[in-house]
Structure 1
Amino acid sequence: MTTSDVQATVRELMPGVIADLEELIAIPSIAFPGYDEKPVMTMAEVTLEKFRAAGFEDARFMDVPTGYPPIYGEIPGPEGAPTVVLYAHYDVQPAHASQGWSSDPWTPTRKEDGRIYGRGASDDKSGLVTHLGMMRAFDGKPPVTLRLILEGMEETESNLEEFVETHPELFECDLFVICDMGNIRVGDPVMTTALRGDVACVVKVSTLEHPLHSGVFGGAAPDAMMALARLLTTLQDDAGNVAVEGVTGGSWSGADLTEDDFRAMADMLPGVSLAGTGTVADRLWAKPSINAIGIDTTSIADSSNVIHPEASAKVSMRIVPGSDPKEELAALVAHLETHAPWGAKVEVTPMKAAPPYRVKTDGAGYAAARDAMAEAFGKPCDEAGSGGSIPLLQTLEDASPGAEFVLWGPEDTAQARIHASDESVDPKEIERMIVAQVLLLQKLAQR
């Protein structure tokens, strides 16, 4: 099929693709502990049936020791054709009312801007229907060998890495297509070539044996909450750059964002300055960032005139491609252990060390994908990074060392608001990504 033939075919398929997306959004497939298991299994079963109908006739749930099952399938291609593994996930983030949703997160809602709103509309049910649309464009008979892996616990404690390590032969391929990303802006194609990693720990600061009357003892007795606050401020310099000795940083040479673009994307309040220095792309994709993502202390409602004897915070640091997560976490722990004021006692508990990832861009598969994106979108394709982490990528590379990776999808950074309230997707972006995936497989078959 020519590019115009592919575009016409996909255009005719789009009503069914969008119907599938809306059906999937309506299923609250939250795989986090404590949530109802039934909707997640319903989502898994519906997804399985859709992919079987699209051509993966042998698609099935795979046995895993714990958690929700991954879906695996294979379609043999012509003799000598390359092998491509398709990835997406069927679980979603929670959607608490406190996030401030303007419409029901489990009711797919088309708004005036043409976007479809609902939890999972972008992350990653749009990835699922992109794969489905591509399969239907080939009438279930792709020109390459296709393997399918759909994860059920990507948003929580993933069980897929262990599955891949146990069954590496299922993931041997020439190219992985990870449809769980997106362009910066709708209509402007980019290839994601770098993902930051994520290290995290919990730091507990203690100063007293027990609470004390703040009037009687305040001024001399050190407050653990104030000590924790002062400790956390040492993690950044005055500009907002990470100030942890030994942590790696760099610069970005691909696509960039203006400060005005970023302000609009992040819905920053008027008068608030951006943190850090360097280009916006440097700060997002090539330099580390650090945040206190949770604090345990007395709530305002339960507060009284006492000095806190202890306080804790969970600290998350995004690390850059090329860095070692164990070394970066060790540097963070060492900083926290040595920078508390007033001799406060500090205990640090490491929680996470997820590796960053850099995509190899010198292979035929990557070149084919970049050309496919340019043809599908009608303009040159750039390169961008992502602050989001996908530790699975390194595991997949270990399972199939010679394989290339393509990271893309319909989740545009500017408006999708993944993990947040009013998550949404642009149907036109899904359509273009289906076209891109069809063109990619054709190009791989020809080469």
Structure 2
Amino acid sequence: MTSVQHSENAQPAIEDAVREAATAGIPTALADLGALVRIPSIAWPAFEQSHVSRSAEAVAALAEGTGVFDSVRVLDAAIPGTDERGRPAVLATRAARNGRPTVLLYAHHDVQPTGDDALWESPPFEPTVRGGRLYGRGAADDKAGIMAHIASLRAIREVAGDDLDLGIAMFIEGEEEYGSRSFGQFLADNRDALRSDVIVVADSGNWDSETPALTVTLRGNARFTLTVRTLDHASHSGMFGGAVPDAMLATIKLLATLWDDEAAVAVEGMTTRDAETPEYTEQTLRDEAGLLPGVSPIGTGTILSRIWNKPSITVTGIDHTTVAAASNTLAPQISVVVSARVAPGQDAEQAYAALEAHLRAHAPFGAELTFSDVDCGDGFLVDTSGWAVDAAHDAMRDGYGVDPVDVGVGGSIPFIADLVREFPGAQILVTGVEDPHSRAHSPNESLHLDTFRHAVLTEALLLARLNARTAP
């Protein structure tokens, strides 16, 4: 172990040593990432849950191996309003010394289901490198976030040795993809252990594979199941079709009212945030989203305002007869999952109430509507005036070699609202290792290897600088 004594004059030498240690540790970090990717840690109850426990134990072993922490535990918390417990998480802590601040490092070790495995070019849980990218479910979202933390901790430990005074808590969640159902309770149960001055959430993306980004806005979410019912039993479509509205007809007509002719959200009460956005071309959108030739974008305003600052509504699931089992029948009932993204700054419960009111007011033919499985999460707006934001910008600039970009993200990380509520004095930095071609949640998810290397270097430099700073 190399230990560089700290003083103000020694800081450049410390940072040079951190750069060297972080770079040298990349091969080991990628090997460890590959081992994590091999564990199919899907938190959804339809999947084998022993894999989630195995993943948590593997992360705990990595945390222990850094030599940084005073305590490493695998814990869970109650899911409020139920008799259930959440999925296992890892909580590792070390106390600050000599007046240094404390940083909380967050990521999650659970992953999305793989979908249709036939769409993967290599097995989803067999890490595979090709074209400068590591492919596999969780390779980017978010096991790379875990390894960015671990690799940067290894580097700072190697350089600082016993002179590491920075307080560190690391919280690796086990159910983020399944809705973080016990997250708020976990924070309450472990409030003292998690209390910190700066929180680094490594679960977002970058402007591109070469340009780092700090996420400063996130949309909220309002997700629910809508059931539309028009008949008390199925009927013959030939005998009654044309006089009797089936549930599918009612559902199609009802859902169509959610958008205007440009496919922008047309729900009164769902708001838009007014903010400028960087230049982003339709061609870039086509490339990054995989938009087919001849298919046009939807919505109005700048492209990034549609993604970052305006609401969107997507139907993500439907229960109806399959094509293979289709018959000449009027369907009595249809259920759909509606996933709405809520503009930053609007309360998600308020947006859901507007959606429900709209759908009830537009129900065709007197169709019966039932709403269930409602899940709301608020968006996020960063106060960019804090010192930690400046520190993150500087570390990104030095870690990537280019100026960082402040971005909004169209997706949601609802638990950040829980962090803000529980730790109002902490500065929250939302970072990540993904790039626009990572395809998180999709087949062929991947991590750009150079992006990962720069992300590790960035976080290692940030920790080194926090270790030289007096707590606020």
Equivalent in the alignment of 2:22 = 10
Say if 2:358 is the partner of 1:335. Answer: yes
1:67 to 71, 79, 86: 86
CA contact (8 A) 1:191 1:383 kept: yes
**Do structure 1's residue 429 and structure 2's residue 442 form an aligned pair?**
no
Residue number in structure 1 paired with 2:81: none
Matches of 2:316 and 2:456, distance apart in 1: 36
2: CA distance, partners of 1:299 / 1:267: 26
Kept after mapping to 2: 8 A contact 1:144/1:445: yes
Equivalent of 2:325, from 289, 295, 302?
302
For the residues of structure 1 that align with 2:28 and 2:441, how far apart are their CA atoms?
Answer: 26
- For structure 1, which segment, 298-307 or 137-146, has the greater mean C-alpha deviation from structure 2 after superposition? 137-146
Q: Which residue does the alignment assign to 1:76?
A: 95
| Aligned counterpart, 2:55 | 43
Measure, in 1, the Cα distance between the counterparts of 2:116 and 2:280: 31
CA displacement, residues 174-203 of structure 1 (integer Å, 9 cap, x when unaligned):
100001112031011111011111102222
RMSD across aligned C-alpha pairs, in angstroms? 1.7
Letter in 2 for 1:170: A
The one-letter amino acid of 1:199's match is: A
Contact 1:171–1:396 (Cα < 8 Å) also in 2 = no
> What is the rounded CA distance, in whole Å, between the counterparts of 1:94 and 1:350 in structure 2?
20
State the secondary structure of the residue aligned to 2:450: helix
Unaligned ranges ≥5, structure 1: none
Residue type at the aligned position of 2:143: K
Closer/same/farther in 2, CA of residues 72 and 430 from structure 1, 3 Å limit: same
Within 1, Cα distance between the matches of 2:357 and 2:178? 28
- Counterpart in 1 of 2:112? 93
2:134 is the alignment partner of 1:116: yes
CA contact (8 A) 2:115 2:442 kept: no
CA contact (8 A) 2:216 2:407 kept: yes
1:206 to 188, 212, 229: 229
Aligned residues: 445
Provide the rounded CA distance (Å) in 2 between the counterparts of 1:278 and 1:385: 15
In structure 1, the partner of 2:193 is 170
Asked if 1:369 corresponds to 2:387, the answer is no
Q: Which amino acid aligns with 2:152?
A: M
Residues 19 and 461, structure 2, Cα contact 8 Å, conserved in 1? no
CA distance 1:47–1:329, shift in 2 (3 Å): same
Q: Which whole-Å CA distance do the structure 2 matches of 1:338 and 1:39 have between them?
A: 45
Q: Which aligned pairs between 1:79-158 and structure 2 lie closer than 5 A?
A: 79-98=98-117, 100-111=119-130, 113-139=131-157, 141=161, 142-158=164-180
Q: Report the Cα distance in structure 2 between the residues aligned to 1:361 and 1:444, rounded to whole angstroms.
A: 18
Structure 2 match to 1:30: 42
2:284 alignment partner AA: D
- C-alpha distance in 1 between matches for 2:291 and 2:133: 22
**Partner of 1:231: helix, strand, or coil?**
helix
TM-score, with structure 2 as normaliser: 0.90
Deviation at 1:374, TM superposition (A): 1.2
In 2: Cα distance, 1:350 partner to 1:23 partner: 35
**Deviation, structure 1 residue 95:** 1.2
Give deviations 1:6-46, integer Å, cap 9, x for gaps: 33322211111111111111111112102222222221111
The answer to whether structure 1 residue 349 and structure 2 residue 368 are counterparts is no
Per the alignment, in what secondary structure is the counterpart of residue 34 of structure 1? coil
Percent of aligned pairs with the same amino acid: 38
| Unmatched segments (≥5 aa) in structure 2 | 1-10, 79-84
Change (3 A) 1:347 1:46: closer
2: CA distance, partners of 1:437 / 1:154: 22
Deviates most, 223-232 or 35-44: 35-44
Residue 418 of structure 1 and its aligned partner are, at CA, apart by: 0.6
8 Å Cα contact 1:143/1:442 also seen in 2: no
Note the C-alpha offset of 1:446: 3.6
Q: How is 1:227-376 mapped onto 2 (pairs within 5 angstroms)?
A: 227-349=250-372, 351-376=374-399
In 1, are the aligned partners of 2:98 and 2:165 still within 8 Å (CA)?
no
> Any idea what the Cα deviations from partners look like across 1:85-130, whole Å, max 9, x if unmatched?
011111111113346101011111011x210000100011101110
Equivalent residue number for residue 4 of structure 2: none
Aligned partners of 2:382 and 2:428 also within 8 Å: yes
**2 CA distance for matches of 1:87 and 1:114?**
26
- Once structures 1 and 2 are overlaid, which stretch shifts more, 87-96 or 305-314? 305-314
**Aligned CA distance change for structure 1 residues 107 and 63 (closer, same or farther; 3 Å):** closer
